[in-house]
Amino acid sequence: MKSLKFCYKLKADYSEPVKNHSFTVMFLPTDSARQRIDNLHTQVLNCPKYSMTRDNFNNKKLYGAIEKPHNSFEVTICGTAKTGLDIYEEYTLNPVEYSLLKVQTPLTAPGKKLNEYYKNLELDKFSGTYDKALHIMHTLYYTFSYIKGATDIHESAETALSIGKGVCQDYAHIMISLLRMEKIPARYVVGMMLGEGASHAWVEVLCNGYWYGFDPTNNKLVNDEYIKVSCGRDSNDCSVIRGKFYGIVNQLQTESVTVEEV
């Protein structure tokens, strides 16, 4: 069990002023069996009033609008998390969610490369869901390379595996694709890890009525060094920022995450 202090910052700078800017931010960690969130503080530059809601996966969202012209957009979300309260989340009966998380999406749909990879895993040698997930994670870690810039945020699991390199998003999409090929429900997770950097992605697998976290990028089981923020079918369900504004501009977006043990 750990007590972690976190701070997430997202900033977008525009080459010219924009206006009528509506936005949705989804980087608000919530309480679960694994973690308890305290002292959550949110701030949106130039937007003193905004609202909160939840989506179909129970992810918390912050949304609002900035009507006046502005050259930048900045969100800061800070707080503390008590992590490692349990090693899993209990599955609450939701037939719709269960069905959705067994079906491939455009980002996880297998092609020739994934089908070949799946066959070579020989998962029939493993009797339990947990052991199958563990084998997929270990194998992917040693056969796929972490290289920043090799893929973009719209890359599919099939394309990333064909390239043979990518980032945490690609590791997660590939693992989810392989699990769903085995008819195992799996969900994409966005969150934070102890240290400094950016947001991180991993996978949750439904094993015997419980959601267990697997991090194929680091070949680790999710433990008290992780703070979960959101989950869904793939990265599209967990987009940190969505929005639209009036203006034809170039924009530069930066993201930073700091997580330290108290």
Q: What is the CATH number of the domain that holds 109?
A: 3.10.620.30
Q: Are 216 and 95 contained in the same domain?
A: yes
- What is the enclosing helix (H) or strand (E) of 121? helix 112-121
Q: Are 41 and 77 contained in the same domain?
A: yes
What's the pLDDT band for 49 if we cut at 50, 70, 90? Answer: confident
Residue 93 CA to residue 90 CA, distance in Å, equals: 10
Give the C-alpha distances (Å, rounded to integers) separating 75 from 17, 101, 112, 190. Answer: 18, 30, 41, 17
Place of tokens 């992590």: 83
Which of the pair, 175 or 251, is modelled with greater confidence?
A: 175
Q: Are 212 and 251 contained in the same domain?
A: no
**Which pLDDT belongs to residue 129?**
96
Q: Are 98 and 144 contained in the same domain?
A: yes
**Which pLDDT belongs to residue 145?**
96
**Which pLDDT belongs to residue 56?**
85
**Which pLDDT belongs to residue 77?**
96
What's the pLDDT band for 94 if we cut at 50, 70, 90? Answer: confident
**Which pLDDT belongs to residue 93?**
65
- What lies within 8 Å, CB to CB, of 111 at 6+ separation is 158
The answer to whether the beta carbons of residues 207 and 135 sit under 8 Å apart is no
Q: Are 97 and 197 contained in the same domain?
A: yes
Q: Are 252 and 223 contained in the same domain?
A: no
Q: Are 71 and 100 contained in the same domain?
A: no
The answer to whether the beta carbons of residues 231 and 57 sit under 8 Å apart is yes
Residue 61, pLDDT > 90, answer yes
Residue 230, pLDDT > 80, answer yes
Residue 82 CA to residue 103 CA, distance in Å, equals: 33
Task: Report the pLDDT averaged over residues 4-11.
Answer: 96
Task: Report the pLDDT averaged over residues 23-38.
Answer: 95
Q: Are 196 and 247 contained in the same domain?
A: no
Q: For 28-42, 67-81, 86-100, 204-218, which range has the lowest pLDDT when averaged over its residues?
A: 86-100
Instruction: Give the burial string for 23-62 (b: 16+ CB within 10 Å, else e).
Output: bbbbbbbeebebbebeeeebebeebeebeeeeeebebbbb
What's the pLDDT band for 98 if we cut at 50, 70, 90? Answer: confident
Q: Are 8 and 108 contained in the same domain?
A: no
Residue 81, pLDDT > 80, answer yes
What's the pLDDT band for 53 if we cut at 50, 70, 90? Answer: very high
**Which pLDDT belongs to residue 40?**
95
Domain that holds residue 62: 2-84+240-261
**Which pLDDT belongs to residue 133?**
97
Q: What angle do CA 140, 146, 148 make, to 5 degrees?
A: 150
**Number of structural domains the chain divides into:** 2
Residue 139 CA to residue 105 CA, distance in Å, equals: 22
Give the C-alpha distances (Å, rounded to integers) separating 160 from 52, 90, 95, 170, 180. Answer: 34, 32, 31, 6, 17
The answer to whether the beta carbons of residues 238 and 203 sit under 8 Å apart is no
**Which pLDDT belongs to residue 59?**
93
| Residues forming a β-bridge with 166 | 146
Q: Are 246 and 175 contained in the same domain?
A: no
pLDDT tens by residue, 160-207: 999 999 999 999 999 999 999 999 999 999 999 999 888 999 999 999
